[in-house]
Structure 1
Amino acid sequence: MKINLKIGLIITALVVVAGCSDLIDPAVENIQSKDNIRERPGMIQGLLLNAYLRIPTNGYSFSEMATDDAVSNDLDNGFLNIATGQWASNNNPLDRWSSANSAIQYLNEMLVEVGNTEYASNPRVNQMFMDRLTGETYGLRALFMYYLLQAHGGISEGELLGVPIFLEPQTVDSDFNIPRATFAECMAQIYSDIEKAMDLLPMDYYNISDASLMPSRYREAGTQLSEYNRVFGDDAKQLVSGRIVRAIRAQVALLAASPSFNLDGDQSKWTDAATYAGNLLNTIGGVSGLDPNGVTWYNNTSVIDGLGAGNNPPEILWRGSIGGPSNNLESRNFPPTLYGDGLVNPTQNLVDAFPMANGYPISDPASGYSDDAPYANRDRRLAQFIILNGSTAGPTGTTINTALDSDTNDGLNKVETSTRTGYYMRKLLRQDVNLDPVANTGQRHIQPRIRYTEIFLIYAEAANEAWGPMASGSFGFSAYDVIKAIRERAGIGTDNGDTYLESIKSDQEAMRELIRNERRLELSFEGFRFWDLRRWGLDLTETAQGIRIENGDDFSIIDVENRVYQDYMIYGPVPYSERLKFSALQQNRGW
């Protein structure tokens, strides 16, 4: 991909960093030379900001609408189109090639320029700024390489390939026509960047009060507490830290260990993923560190509204900016009665994945499930995450009737903004948002980039594959322990000791299925399901189903949307436009 890096193209982003009215002196065409930029630390840091702004988890994609978990009621939605047979290398809403490679270009430029600028007149402080900025840059480069592998890694001509590796900024004279590196080479580069980042970054950013907490290299240089805190203190919270980089390493290792990317079944890769996740979890006390309120992290209103600058609730490891009150999520996803567009419609497939409150899958004869009362005695996460027929929602507790014979527009297929499945999404939405045009109010929202529950689930999946359900390696907790804690937090099995979990705790295959299902539920609507199905190599073609309710108690399952995927689509394509430009780029098989 050819990137023309003219510094003038990023000036808009840089203004956010500098915030000065005299940021840019008059110049020909208002384009700054590198010499001028090097004199302005804020502008150099804008290279880094550009990468932060491109992180995919800055917002929700709702790629679940391309899976068995949800459909869209917007018939022009890109995920609906690819799920129904229109996914192609020149029509790919999941493409990350351009954005991630652009971020890497800026990061490579940052690595060149970071040492050419003075950030503080004090040489000790200046060195710490250079260390932090360099560490952030390496951490972000690893993150974007991970996103590239996730979206574009795949098999070409019998070999598992990644993407081209660029470690220096490209210019108009660079050779862009280079082949893709192997997946293993890309992984080695990610791990190298992560090691460099961890060497430079503190575990967390906070103001320290004891010099013994300072890294020895700074303490021995005579650095004062105030100087250290200026660079690595509270003001740096939410920038890439050692903790965040360790979480990225766990994510990357899980991808590499997964069946679609671990073609030789190398068990050591599962051990790596479990070890990286386990080491990170031990910093919060292992299983005891699981946030008891983590299920409803998105709607813990008093916590979110009272959150101080840069701080995280216990469930959130890394987040984006909270910002001011908004109602965008609710406007897109509230039912029509609440003045919303009802965009994301959960499927019956997902509803059926929630167990009974006693812990048994609804298909198990011991579950007590009844077709005549499908929502009775269910896992309470079902009603927390999904608006069911008869649920109340919104600031005034409006009853939502999703039945075919509903007398409101919330009913099945009533209008364009109605549900197509008989369900609306509740998760992520604040019920105290009011979209009434007469009394419109927004609320603060927290946007996680990484949650601790994800790290717990990474550990559970990897530990089960590496050591089995009950073994704990060197960490003192097992895959079983993690899943038991997650299910207890959800209220499952409180009356019977979760006898279903106890019955399978020595069965690796059954535990694998349970872990995958818990991941499906806990991370629902957060952009995981599509990538998970593909890395597991599972069927993408399960028909999305819904429910038709009439006369109050007449329930029937309906097919809503066929899923049209080919087997090769467990790997995404290299963009068609890139292959037109660069003949050395190999395409993944089938595309």
Structure 2
Amino acid sequence: MKIKIMFLGLAVMLFAGCKKILNPEPEDLKSLDQMYTDVNFAQGFLVTAYRNIPGYYDNSEYATDDAVTNQLSNGYLQLATGSWSSQNNPASTWNQCYEAMQYLNLFLENSNKVKWAADPEAAKLFNLRMRGEAFGLRGLFMYYLLRNHGGVAANGQLLGVPIITQYQTIDAQFNVPRASFDACVKQVYKDLDSAELYLPVEYNDIANASQIPDRYKKYTSNFDTYNRVMGQYGRQLFNGLIAKTIRTRTALLAASPAFQNSANPATWADAAGYAAAIINYKGGVAALPATGVTYYANASEIDNLASGNNPPEIIWRENIVTNDATQENQNFPTSINGANATGAGFMNPSQNLVDAFPMANGYPIDNAASGYNAAAPYAGRDPRFAKYIIYNGSTAGVSNTVIKTGTTAGTGDGINERPGFSTRTGYYMKKRLRMDVNRNSVGANGKTHYTPRMRYTEMYLAYAEAANEAYGPTGVGTQAYSAYDVIKAIRKRALGINSDPYLEEVKGDQGKMRELIRNERRLELCFESFRFWDLRRWKVDITKLNETVRGMDVNGTVYTPLNSVETRAYQNYMYYGPIPNSEILKYNTLLQNANWK
């Protein structure tokens, strides 16, 4: 059967008439055979898959105890307040992941027939690399499907999703049941094994033929040919290090309480080992990137990125964007957002999150040794607090404008002062933003930005969590360092302290260390779309999922707690996301996760 592939997106944009869509011009159609001689067309299947990767900043914090939004129509707000169903699921990745996997499967079935280059050695390497990318991306999409849709069905089975590793033509059997969760994890690992077999750990140029890695020497002895395919020009494409990171994410998910099951053999030791491989590649605990806390605002680091390079903190990122102010337009307080009259203050951090930041001495604010003063609650806090959150009395923007968030502020920034624009909690997000972006009407400008996909700090935190569960706080397993060692390094970087008495106090208690590690993960990864999923894989008590979001109204020296900014309406079955109802209706072998309607 000759497969016809139509790209209708451009036609939809260019032509308003239905005739053009229903009767496409011949040049709008490409046959599969053309893939073999048209390299750009063939590579387009991979490009489409890359474009389907779920966004890193998805703002799912709106549905947690970390934040709310003043965008009252936002899907995550509706999800958190009672509208989450199998028919209305803003967290669904089902369609985009399976669509991407269709393209990847078609690519993998045909890439060996493509003439990738006139030079036969380069052609073999290009095919090898792109097949590695395709396998790796397929593993990535399976991870997202597992995280967002895996769970326990009504019959008590722990299930993953249908495993589709062949291109589905119109005659294919689409009524495919969900595979076991364990089978899906193994499929992720299998695809990542292939990716690591074919791909370099990172794309770097070499200086001579002797530096060609052994596994590629049977394809070429010319280092220029190697560099052409596997060198720096490939940066930001899928590589072996990215595969290791997805493996760690998958192992951490599989070992977590929500998925611990007699039919799931995943262990915390597995996750610790996979995370350690990345830490060791980076250079060990001491190599934790010094500038990682403010990866989003390290101006010279960001502005000087070139040749696809990554900052020290970044494993994988999206392309840089110059003269950009998208995040600032959406999240600056209104008083410094003069050039953007249609939006501001979308992400409102919660008092719940503010209270999670310890004091600068490392003690939680509810510990008697912390020195916390409720009459001056922002004084002497963990430095990350001021880096990540704009609070009453702090400064923001190129002009260092003092932000007043109280109900009597009269600046446009006060609580609910401008509904839809002003904060609801008394706080604005600072993380993800560059304060050197100017949105005032005079001299408005954007700056260079990038969106991360994977950070080293996440991997260090993954090791700490898994190692603590597998070996206890100070146990090292097969490594030279413990969960305690990693958390000590993370807190030293954040707090700037050599002595950490609170860490020393809890290192002898696995449960207390667990809470500290989870809190450090909350702080280090806040506003990066982790907490919504972390709370679920940890299977925290339902009261924690439903913790009411709080705020703080500050007027002068009077601090008035806002104890009910927004309530949550999660049910016990909502630790696992649903399978889309439309799929359940179409395919009778597809089991829904328990209790979803």
The residue number in structure 1 matching 2:546 is 541
Amino acid at match of 2:435: Q
Choose which of 421, 424, 445 in structure 1 pairs with 2:428.
424
SS of the residue corresponding to residue 553 of structure 2 reads strand
SS in structure 2 at match of 1:299: coil
Matched, 1:464 2:476: no
Preserved contact between residue 319 and residue 446 of structure 1 (Cα < 8 Å):
yes
- List runs of 5+ in structure 2 lacking aligned partners: 12-23, 338-342
Deviation at 1:325, TM superposition (A): 1.6
Counterpart amino acid of 2:417? K
Aligned to 2:132: 135
Mapping 1:143-158, distance limit 5 Å: 143-156=140-153, 157-158=155-156
Given the superposition, is the C-alpha separation of residues 405 and 249 from structure 1 closer, same or farther in structure 2, using an over 3 Å criterion? same
Counterpart contact for 2:124–2:219, Cα < 8 Å:
no
Q: Distance in 1 between matches of 2:550 and 2:454?
A: 30
Moved more, 165-174 or 29-38: 29-38
**Residues 1:11 and 1:547: Cα distance change in structure 2 (over 3 Å):** closer
Q: Distance in 2 between matches of 1:73 and 1:381?
A: 24
What is the identity, as a one-letter code, of the residue corresponding to 1:308? A
SS of aligned partner of 1:279: helix
Q: Superposed, which structure 2 residues align to 1:61-460 within 5 Å?
A: 61-156=58-153, 157-264=155-262, 269-339=267-337, 341-416=344-419, 417-460=421-464
Name the CA distance, whole Å, in 2 between partners of 1:12 and 1:257.
Answer: 44
Residue 324 of structure 1 aligns to a residue whose secondary structure is strand
Tell me the secondary structure at the aligned position of residue 371 of structure 1: coil
Taking the aligned partners of 1:315 and 1:237, their CA distance within structure 2 comes to 15
1:218: Cα distance to partner?
3.0
Is the aligned partner of 1:474 residue 2:472?
no
Deviation at 1:585, TM superposition (A): 1.0
Report whether the alignment pairs 1:525 with 2:527.
yes
Q: Percent identity?
A: 51
Q: For structure 1, which segment, 338-347 or 460-469, has the greater mean C-alpha deviation from structure 2 after superposition? A: 338-347
Q: Output the CA distance in 2 between the equivalents of 1:268 and 1:535.
A: 14
Against the structure 1 CA distance between its residues 267 and 553, is the aligned structure 2 distance closer, same or farther, given a 3 Å change threshold? farther
For 1:457 and 1:217, the matched residues in 2 are separated by 32
Judge which range, 29-38 or 427-436, deviates more. Answer: 29-38
Indicate conservation of the 8 Å contact 1:457/1:515, yes or no.
yes
Q: Look up the equivalent residue of 1:588 and give its one-letter code.
A: N
Deviations 1:267-296 (A, max 9, x none): 861111000110111011111111111100
Residue identity in the other structure for 2:140: L
Distance 1:405 1:346 in 2: 20
Distance in 1 separating the partners of 2:4 and 2:361: 61
> 1:68 Cα deviation (Å)?
0.1
Closer, same or farther in 2 for the Cα pair 1:473/1:304, shift >3 Å? same
Q: Tell me, in whole angstroms, the C-alpha distance in 1 between the residues paired with 2:62 and 2:41.
A: 39
Give the whole-Å Cα distance in 2 for the aligned partners of 1:503 and 1:217: 49
Q: Secondary structure at the match of 1:325?
A: strand
Tell me the residue number matched to 1:47: 45
Q: Provide Cα deviations, 1:551-572, integer angstroms capped at 9, x if missing partner.
A: 4333324310001100110000
DSSP 3-state at the match of 1:252: helix
CA contact (8 A) 1:10 1:46 kept: no
1:19 equivalent in structure 2: none
In 1, the alpha carbon distance for the partners of 2:558 and 2:519 equals 28
Query: In the superposition, relative to structure 1, how do residues 12 and 187 fare at CA in structure 2: closer, same or farther (>3 Å)?
Result: farther
User: Counterpart of 1:146 in 2: which secondary structure?
Assistant: helix
Aligned length: 573
| 2:518 matched residue in structure 1 | 516
Note if contact 1:124-1:223 (Cα within 8 Å) is conserved in structure 2.
Answer: no
Deviations 1:178-223 (A, max 9, x none): 1111101101111111111111111111111133332324324552
CA–CA separation in structure 2 for the residues paired with 1:71 and 1:464: 32
Q: Give the direction of change, closer, same or farther, for the CA distance of 1:5–1:542 in structure 2 (3 Å limit).
A: farther
Alpha-carbon distance between aligned partners in 1 of 2:259 and 2:559, rounded to the nearest angstrom: 45
- How far the C-alpha of 1:474 sits from its partner, in A, is 2.4
Q: 1:45 to 1:562 in 2, by over 3 A?
A: same
CA distance in structure 2 between the aligned counterparts of 1:11 and 1:5, rounded to whole angstroms: 19
Q: Deviations over 1:506-558 (max 9, x none)?
A: 21111100000000000000000000000000131000100122343333243
Structure 1 residues 73, 6: CA separation in 2 closer, same or farther (over 3 Å shift)? Answer: farther
Q: SS of the residue aligned with 1:412? A: coil
Map of 1:555 onto structure 2: 560
> 1:280 & 1:183 partners in 2: Cα distance?
25
Whichever residue aligns with residue 491 of structure 2, its letter is R
TM-score normalised by structure 1 residue count = 0.94
SS of alignment partner, residue 545 of structure 1? strand
Tell me, in whole angstroms, the C-alpha distance in 1 between the residues paired with 2:352 and 2:3: 46
- For residue 126 of structure 1, report the CA deviation from its aligned partner: 1.1
Q: Is the deviation greater in 430-439 or in 96-105? A: 430-439
1:483 aligns with 2:472: no
Q: Distance in 1 between matches of 2:318 and 2:559?
A: 44
Shift of 1:122: 2.0
Counterparts in 2 of 1:490 and 1:151: CA distance versus 1, 3 Å: same
- Aligned 8 A contact 1:379 1:492 in 2: no
Which residue number corresponds to residue 590 of structure 1? 595
State whether residues 267 and 466 of structure 1, in contact with CA within 8 Å, keep that contact through their aligned partners in structure 2: no
Code of the residue aligned with 2:568 in structure 1: it is R
For the residue of structure 2 that corresponds to 1:513, the secondary structure is helix
Looking at structure 2, the residues matched to 311 and 322 of structure 1 have their Cα atoms a distance apart, in angstroms, of 10
Give the secondary-structure state (helix, strand or coil) at the position aligned to 2:369. Answer: helix
Return the alpha-carbon distance in structure 1 between the equivalents of residues 523 and 386 of structure 2. Answer: 12
TM-superposed deviation, 1:12? 5.8
Could you tell me whether the CA contact under 8 Å between 1:250 and 1:273 is conserved in 2?
A: yes
Q: Distance in 1 between matches of 2:265 and 2:134?
A: 31
* Distance in 2 (alpha carbons) for counterparts of 1:214 and 1:121: 21
User: d(CA) in 1 for partners of 2:485 and 2:3?
Assistant: 50
- Residue deviations 1:5-27 (CA, integer Å, cap 9, x gap): 852227869xxxxxxxxxxxx97
Write the distance in 1 (CA, Å) between the matches of 2:100 and 2:435: 36
What residue in structure 1 maps to residue 18 of structure 2?
A: none
Q: Give yes or no for contact 1:54–1:99 (8 Å, CA) kept in 2.
A: yes
| Paired residues of 1:457 and 1:482 also in contact (CA < 8 A) | yes
The amino acid of 1:574's aligned partner reads I
1:134-182, CA deviations, whole angstroms, 9 ceiling, x for partnerless residues? 1000000000000000000010110000100101001111111111111
User: How high is the TM-score relative to the length of structure 2?
Assistant: 0.93
- Checking the alignment, whether the CA contact within 8 Å between 2:329 and 2:439 is kept in structure 1 is yes
Q: Which amino acid aligns with 1:115?
A: N
Q: Which runs of 5+ in 1 are unaligned?
A: 14-25
- Give, as a single letter, the amino acid of the residue that structure 2 aligns with 1:37: M
2:536 match: secondary structure? helix
Q: Indicate if the aligned counterparts of 2:296 and 2:431 stay in contact, CA closer than 8 A.
A: yes
